[in-house]
Amino acid sequence: MSTTTNDPLLDAVRGGVTIYDLGRPLFAGMPQSPNHPAYTHTLPRRHGDKVRPDGGSAANDLIFMGTHVGTHIDALAHVSHDGKLHGGADAAAACVGGRYPELGVHTIAPMVRRGVLLDVPATLGADCAPGYEITPADLDATVRRQGVEPAPGDVILVRSGWGRHFADPDREVYIGGESGVPGVGEAGARWLAGRGAHAVGADTIAFERLAPGQGHSVLPGHRVLLVESGIYLIEAMDLEVLARDGVHEFTFVLSPLAFVGATGSPVRPLALVGGGSRG
């Protein structure tokens, strides 16, 4: 039987695809925002608890977690400002029966788009310091160095280098409440919005810069991107291997779980590059 096809995408897959997993593993006790319910996992039924007549047995699971824990995407319903959601919707009236039917995460279409990594530490010569604000000048310099210009509709991922702390035995290091966390500020968020991004992501919990000792108290980047610009945020990404391999342009794939009316969803985003067989 012939395996030829007129589908160039399938032909590219057959030719080999290198897969970069940009999602963090989910485990009890992982670092996360203190504003959301923690991840817990248990096995209500384990092998041997119930055995079928033929000797078969199956285990099952119970997971409890917030939708903004681990690598996740923020829906437009996640943040309001002065009582308004994106597009001017009244935040209180938009919640119907405990759900957001218009701007919930179920309205985010699966993404297969051009992805661009902006590796800021490679431009600065070192990982961003705690509480460092990534400026528009930093982003411009990174674009010039890499030679890859973001275009409207892209997914833009901003690496700060903070992701190296995710596996630290002291989870507070990655959370960075006292130290601060690097990321874009309001000006950097406007730079990203000005590029017409479909979604943006980062290697930190809050995406944007957190000032030392202030935690998640003020998040102007969320306002600029979610409320004013309608741009989705992907947080707590693993961008280290992508940066190590110098991959700055790729096919980006992401599909949120269709939690009807929810403000976010866990995700496992992928970066795909033609050739090779990684993954």
pLDDT digits (tens, 9 = 90+) for 201-260: 999 999 999 999 987 888 999 999 999 999 999 999 999 999 999 999 999 999 999 999
Q: Mean per-residue pLDDT for 176-183? A: 96
Helix (H) or strand (E) holding 142, with range, is helix 136-146
Comparing C-alpha atoms, which of 251, 256, 176, 205 is closest to residue 17? 251
Q: Mean per-residue pLDDT for 15-37? A: 95
Q: How far is CA 51 from CA 43, 44, 46, 55, 58, in A?
A: 16, 15, 10, 6, 8
Residue 279: pLDDT band (50, 70, 90) is very low
pLDDT tens-digit map of 62-84: 999 999 999 999 999 999 999 99
Phi/psi of residue 166, each to 5°? Answer: -60, -40
Give me the residues paired with residue 233 across strands: 74, 200
Q: Is the full-model pTM beyond 0.85?
A: yes
